[in-house]
Structure 1
């Protein structure tokens, strides 16, 4: 491996999907960098694969093993690349391995607890950070037996490497636990890997928050905070709305996230942490060592004094700039809400009235619903199968609350789209 980085300064992005798809273009705009994509193997959903902007990259390399992949990247860059960043959840472990190999501000400790949700909770426990009571099972009967003897009355089951709410089940009794196990063990996770292990946890009670942070050399800076509203569809938790929260409103959440990131060794770059604010304080559901997925970073741009995208890049590309920008705590310029739209059944779209009925709202910012009659719509059972978003933003919280309820009420009543069910 060369002792000096490539003087032309290429950025390597591992799995530039979802929100990570913006990183190459933004790096070119802000820092004059071109980019190489490293793509990990796996069978990802079509919607996630479609988010990859191949035209923004000078080249792409399939990830096989660290040595082979590093050699291929170095051949493209004329030596060790200067900058490396993780674009989305499937690439976390490959990113960690390459960062360690090249000495590009790697995270500390083992990589697995930053991806495996069972190991994540175990690591919190070891570090003395509040965690969720949990169990790892490899067969249905052992999982049911653990639940029966746990003393708990509500459970969450998920694949150990779940993301985008894939394969997450809320269960209220042992029959529901058994049914969820049988469904999960019969399928693969969102990355296309057969499910052989299931994480079982206590279902915590309290409001759910997501916290986005960016770290540099072990110092975490919380950039933004949102509160989730979810509903349950066929036992699966599904996002319904995500509303911005001023970071200064919950210092206890900020302090907890800093402890969790330290325990997990997320020392450099972005992290996306989801937690429950219980009666006893915050408890982590999970953390992703990458940016908020989907529209999250765009919502931060629309509402906050700080840019999650730009800080993420600065932490990897321009550390001095990062330190300068993070001297001041972020504040909300206006509130923003992302409304997640539900399709109650799969079928063919016969009418799309979203622009007509939402576009004139005082807080309307944009929507992602370009479907036209004749397009196929999936039943909404998780984040990936939500058919679209309506995003609202306004300085007046009363206006924002009114418009949010209007959009969600229309969606629940079938007033935004019409779908002809499949035969």
Structure 2
């Protein structure tokens, strides 16, 4: 590896913020940031560790951005390239193809656009969700009326972090969801002009994290989601690690889905429902699990999602060595998502002192002080914090999860004065 080797991280936000520091620790290489948007949520922008990067470039078009990066690399292309978070998927794909750096295959759009994603599954013969895309409310309502489906999901075609996702049981609810979404700006700062409507699947929901090298995927870990529906929108409440080996049918399905979407290199984050007819994909992100997901894997699994993702781009031989053994859980781990029923101001923060008494308590992310503002929880971004629990005793872990969520429902963790 050259002494001056450079890793380019496209949108190093959320969990992708760890790549630069870890690359320095493991391989002694520096990193350069490519930023694709200035209109992301402030909470997401705040995760960018500017101090870990030697320089940054604002993405414009592929040729201009590549030239700017090459100037910073002494007139040559960088040695390594990785996608840090969901908004950067298309820019990352374009740069990887431009430099021929183990790019994914086929068009990039179906790896972000959920309508095109389902169409690619359908065309590849992979089980998919019946779906429709519309640019006006009435065409979407008309499709629903003729679909014969019992329930629907309405969301922006490039939704992430559950932004703008609505569960609907009636045509009036579909119409109301469309009216709320059309003309709004999404989390990536783009005006919503098209919506996806699809069947609402029934069954347990899983998330599967994988890393691929030259078309061969390795499933690193699985989690099972627990969600609640609040005001017609899904809100995460818990994410529980499960053994990969317990669900070979999910692994096999994810491998087919990744092939259909052309995700041949690097990480993928796939969410699916285990229906009566088998696994069906909700969506896949061609990037690593966001938020605390990789940290939970570090705490519970035999394998590191962060290190394998880096190795797939920086040290393929290490990736191959690390994936010869199947992953397994060392202990159970659960991420509890905390919920604010309304906008308000923090009166008292009792999260650490209350949850810290539980035998499974590992850490929390709730640093709010009295006087801080809190948003009503409507998606992942507006959850006011997380409590992470870990325990080798499954029954003790379940008890502590129930306790955290019950305390949160009763407003005993964060005292909030409604705005």
Which of the five TM-score ranges fits, normalised by the shorter chain? over 0.9
Task: Name the SS of the counterpart of 1:285 in structure 2.
Answer: strand
C-alpha displacement of 1:6: 7.0
Which of 406, 409, 414 is residue 406 of structure 2 equivalent to? Answer: 409
* Partner residue, 1:11: 7
Task: Name the SS of the counterpart of 2:118 in structure 1.
Answer: helix
Matched, 1:47 2:46: no
Query: Does the CA-based 8 Å contact 1:6-1:77 persist in structure 2?
Result: no
Q: Work out the CA distance in 2 between the residues paired with 1:327 and 1:188.
A: 44
Q: How many residues in Structure 1 have an aligned counterpart in Structure 2?
A: 418
* Partner residue, 2:20: 24
> Alpha-carbon deviations, 1:20-77, whole Å to 9, x = none?
0000000000011100000002410010000000000000000000000000000111
Matched, 1:236 2:251: no
Mapping of 1:109-128 within 5 angstroms?
109-128=106-125
Query: Does the CA-based 8 Å contact 2:341-2:377 persist in structure 1?
Result: yes
Matched, 1:213 2:213: no
Query: Does the CA-based 8 Å contact 1:217-1:267 persist in structure 2?
Result: yes
Task: Name the SS of the counterpart of 1:383 in structure 2.
Answer: coil
Task: Name the SS of the counterpart of 2:217 in structure 1.
Answer: strand
Q: Work out the CA distance in 2 between the residues paired with 1:34 and 1:402.
A: 44
Query: Does the CA-based 8 Å contact 2:183-2:193 persist in structure 1?
Result: no
Matched, 1:274 2:271: yes
Where in structure 2 are there 5+ consecutive unaligned residues?
A: none
* Partner residue, 2:134: 137
C-alpha displacement of 1:7: 5.9
> Alpha-carbon deviations, 1:305-331, whole Å to 9, x = none?
000000000000000000000000000
Q: Work out the CA distance in 2 between the residues paired with 1:236 and 1:190.
A: 16
Query: Does the CA-based 8 Å contact 1:215-1:221 persist in structure 2?
Result: yes
Task: Name the SS of the counterpart of 2:288 in structure 1.
Answer: coil
Matched, 1:388 2:385: yes
Query: Does the CA-based 8 Å contact 1:42-1:193 persist in structure 2?
Result: no
Query: TM-score normalised to the size of structure 1?
Result: 0.98
Q: Work out the CA distance in 1 between the residues paired with 2:167 and 2:39.
A: 26
* Partner residue, 1:300: 297
Task: Name the SS of the counterpart of 1:223 in structure 2.
Answer: strand
Matched, 1:70 2:89: no
Mapping of 1:328-367 within 5 angstroms?
328-367=325-364
Query: Does the CA-based 8 Å contact 1:164-1:384 persist in structure 2?
Result: yes
* Partner residue, 1:371: 368
Which of 187, 191, 198 is residue 190 of structure 1 equivalent to? Answer: 187
* Partner residue, 1:93: 90
Query: TM-score normalised to the size of structure 2?
Result: 0.99
Query: Does the CA-based 8 Å contact 1:271-1:289 persist in structure 2?
Result: yes
Where in structure 1 are there 5+ consecutive unaligned residues?
A: none
